[in-house]
Amino acid sequence: MVTRTPHVLIIGAGTGGLCLAHGLRRAGIGVEVYERHRSRADGLLGYRVGIGPTGSRALRDCLPPELFDIYLATCARSPRYFNVLDQKLRPTASFPLRPDTHPVDTERSVARMTLRQVLLTGLEDVVHFDRTFTRYEQHHDGTVTAHFADGSTATGDLLVAADGTQSAVRRQYLPHAVIRDAGTINIATRIPLTDDTRALLPPAVQRGISLIFGTGGMMGVLHVMEFKWNADGRLKPDVDPADAALLADWPGLRHDSTRDNINLVVWSTARRFPEDVMRRRGSELIQVALDLTANWHPRLRDLLRQADPDSALPIRVSTSEPVPPWHSSTVTLLGDAIHTMTPGRGVGANTALRDANLLRRQLILAAAGEKSLIQAVADYEAVMVPYGFARVADSLARSGTSGDDRMYKPVFGRLALLGARGYFRVTSRVPRLRRKFVDDFYTYRGEED
Ligand SMILES: Cc1cc2nc3c(=O)[nH]c(=O)nc-3n(C[C@H](O)[C@H](O)[C@H](O)COP(=O)(O)OP(=O)(O)OC[C@H]3O[C@@H](n4cnc5c(N)ncnc54)[C@H](O)[C@@H]3O)c2cc1C
């Protein structure tokens, strides 16, 4: 039984891995993070991720307090409405959301690259870039060695797979775990936010999360991302002085090219896309999005035409199947590495952060000698696996992220669309239902089951 402070190796400097690294470091537990990207600015990370109460709570618990304040200051302006639109930009429903006065109990819009820069702050000496994990070995003395593509190795007491959907650690540790194609494809685009592009959107859409239910099984989501800095990276004049002071000293902005933008993602069943869509990039990919949205409002199509070609990205959506229980050991997993989910409920990153916080708490108990390291890992996994795969199932059932959704069936699709629009219309107009919808929106994202 390892009773000394464990030394933890984390594979993957993504959302969950970096949050865990902060939490362990603050607790005095040794940690090293290995990331395949070559530098902190690598990766196509410019998109929006919605962080709800679960994610913000984990960040508050794991990050040093001043870094949590920087996280809050670097979020985009918070959404004030959850809108449901049809393909002609007509509102089916609009639900006012809570103001963002509470640091945790709210919905925040975060740019992935900005969040990464926040999470890398203060970990510069323990995050090793350009280290692609290839395999591990578990030793009889209870240690574990990670091997990397450059021939180097690292040895510690626990190896944490935080290496995302295609996890190489999972492939070796749980080779029977099933990751599968959910059957939908997204095309994500980013449009620079200017006076002209903003003017294409109704006011509630400018300040909201807007889900587009189009005819013919075409879906979309639109977010306007406005930050506290302008196009040349300087702070905007109206920034609150406390935030300005925090951001002026924060080195992360130097590595972050994120600027005000409109995130527009369109998706449908994979059957509707050209066969080579995953190989297309730039204006060719934007043209696919335009072809699939031919009956959408001219303003939405105008936005697509103005998308930055370098930002256009095809995403084949994956999901996972529940993994039967396994014997806990000196290898464990968190986030997408174990429970990849579709973006249907927008909780994948929130769940990765929740895992990080839970594992942190267990490892602190092990470091204090209150339980063995393996018991701490087992107690973490016993809680994480059920809630993780519950989120996988809910996510697959939502927002047409499964290619088998009724919405994509030839005749039922039309009825399903009418049903979905009817549901949102009625829910938004009946005060009791509207209140419940908004409460559920936060409760779901803040739930600790
Ligand atoms: C279109 C879309 C929208 C989404 N929107 C939301 C949302 O609004 N809210 C939300 O909560 N979630 C959202 N998600 C889900 C969310 O992005 C993921 O669930 C989350 O990023 C998972 O975090 P992670 O730490 O597990 O993995 P990641 O953040 O993917 O990090 C994995 C890291 O491991 C590295 N890595 C991989 N292999 C290796 C290797 N062999 N060696 C070394 N390093 C390696 C990768 O480079 C990466 O840095 C969305 C997902 C998609 C596709």
User: Is 230 within the bounds of a domain?
Assistant: yes
Q: Average pLDDT of 120-138?
A: 98
State the pLDDT at residue 100: 87
Instruction: Kindly state if the Cβ of 163 falls inside 6 Å of ligand 1.
Output: yes
The residues, ordered by sequence, that sit 6+ positions from 311 with a Cβ below 8 Å of its Cβ are 46, 188, 189, 190
State the pLDDT at residue 444: 61
The residues, ordered by sequence, that sit 6+ positions from 24 with a Cβ below 8 Å of its Cβ are 8, 30, 31, 360, 363
User: Is 125 within the bounds of a domain?
Assistant: yes
Distance 159 CA to ligand 1 centre (A): 18
Is the pLDDT score of 279 beyond 90? Answer: yes
Under the banding of pLDDT at 50, 70 and 90, the label for residue 399 is confident
CA 308 – CA 283 distance, rounded (Å): 9
E strands along 112-197, which residues?
127-128, 133-138, 144-148, 153-156, 158-161, 179-192
Mean pLDDT lowest among 9-18, 26-35, 271-280, 406-415:
406-415
Q: How far is CA 413 from CA 214, 219, 293, 385, 407, in A?
A: 11, 12, 17, 33, 4
State the pLDDT at residue 439: 85
Instruction: Kindly state if the Cβ of 132 falls inside 6 Å of ligand 1.
Output: yes
Which residue's CA is minimally distant from atom 37 of ligand 1? 163
State the pLDDT at residue 410: 86
- The residue among 447 and 278 whose pLDDT is bigger is 278
CA 140 – CA 142 distance, rounded (Å): 5
Say if CB 159 and CB 153 are below 8 A apart: no
Enumerate the H helices of 262-319 as residue ranges: 282-292, 298-305
Instruction: Kindly state if the Cβ of 186 falls inside 6 Å of ligand 1.
Output: yes
pLDDT tens digits for 337-372? 999 999 999 999 999 999 999 999 999 999 999 999
| Averaged pLDDT score across all residues of the chain | 95
CA 301 – CA 291 distance, rounded (Å): 10
Q: For a ligand 1 pocket test, name from 36, 127, 354, 442 the mutation site with the most ligand atoms within 8 angstroms of its C-beta.
A: 36
Which of 273, 76, 94, 74 lies closest to 185, judged by CA? 273
User: Is 90 within the bounds of a domain?
Assistant: yes
CA 319 – CA 390 distance, rounded (Å): 12
Percentage of the chain exceeding pLDDT 70? 97
Instruction: Kindly state if the Cβ of 14 falls inside 6 Å of ligand 1.
Output: yes
Tracing tokens 């960040």 back to the chain, one arrives at: 59
pLDDT tens digits for 230-266? 999 999 999 999 999 999 989 998 889 899 999 999 9
Say if CB 126 and CB 32 are below 8 A apart: yes
Distance 336 CA to ligand 1 centre (A): 6
State the pLDDT at residue 447: 57
* b (16+ CB within 10 A) / e for 152-186: eebebbbbbbbbbbebbbbeebbeebebeebbbbb
- Residues β-bridged to residue 82: 95, 209
Classified as helix, coil or strand, 337 is: helix
Is the pLDDT score of 377 beyond 80? Answer: yes
Say if CB 224 and CB 198 are below 8 A apart: yes
Instruction: Kindly state if the Cβ of 36 falls inside 6 Å of ligand 1.
Output: yes
Tracing tokens 């290839």 back to the chain, one arrives at: 134
User: Is 2 within the bounds of a domain?
Assistant: no
Q: How many domains does the chain have?
A: 1
Instruction: Kindly state if the Cβ of 34 falls inside 6 Å of ligand 1.
Output: yes
Is the pLDDT score of 178 beyond 70? Answer: yes
User: Is 398 within the bounds of a domain?
Assistant: yes
Instruction: Kindly state if the Cβ of 345 falls inside 6 Å of ligand 1.
Output: no
Instruction: Kindly state if the Cβ of 53 falls inside 6 Å of ligand 1.
Output: no
State the pLDDT at residue 448: 58
State the pLDDT at residue 3: 58
Helix (H) or strand (E) run with residue 360 in it: helix 348-367
Q: Report the CATH number that the domain containing residue 141 is assigned in CATH.
A: 3.50.50.60
Tokens of 45: 């990370």
Is the pLDDT score of 120 beyond 80? Answer: yes
State the pLDDT at residue 1: 53
Instruction: Kindly state if the Cβ of 13 falls inside 6 Å of ligand 1.
Output: yes
Distance 446 CA to ligand 1 centre (A): 20
Percent helix, strand and coil across the chain, each to the nearest 5: 40, 20, 35
State the pLDDT at residue 15: 97
Is the pLDDT score of 46 beyond 80? Answer: no
Summary count for the chain: helices (H), strands (E): 15, 17
Q: Average pLDDT of 116-122?
A: 97
State the pLDDT at residue 445: 59
The residues, ordered by sequence, that sit 6+ positions from 96 with a Cβ below 8 Å of its Cβ are 80, 81, 438
- For β-strands 81-86 and 144-148, DSSP reports them as unpaired
pLDDT tens digits for 401-448? 999 999 999 888 999 999 999 999 999 999 999 999 998 888 765 555
Q: Average pLDDT of 192-208?
A: 96
Under the banding of pLDDT at 50, 70 and 90, the label for residue 130 is very high
Measured from the Cα of 348, ligand 1's closest atom is: 19
Say if CB 84 and CB 93 are below 8 A apart: yes
Percentage of the chain exceeding pLDDT 90? 90
User: Is 163 within the bounds of a domain?
Assistant: yes
- Residues β-bridged to residue 138: 144
State the pLDDT at residue 43: 80
Which residue's CA is minimally distant from atom 49 of ligand 1? 14
Distance 43 CA to ligand 1 centre (A): 11
Neighbours of 365 (CB within 10 A): 15
Say if CB 51 and CB 446 are below 8 A apart: no
Work out the angle between the directed axes of helices 53-62 and 348-367 (0-180°, nearest 10): 30
Distance 337 CA to ligand 1 centre (A): 9
- Residues β-bridged to residue 363: none
Enumerate the H helices of 368-430 as residue ranges: 373-396, 412-429
User: Is 1 within the bounds of a domain?
Assistant: no
Q: Average pLDDT of 269-297?
A: 97
Residue 236: give the domain boundaries: 7-446
Which residue's CA is minimally distant from atom 14 of ligand 1? 348
Find the radius of gyration of the CA atoms of the chain. Answer: 22
User: Is 133 within the bounds of a domain?
Assistant: yes
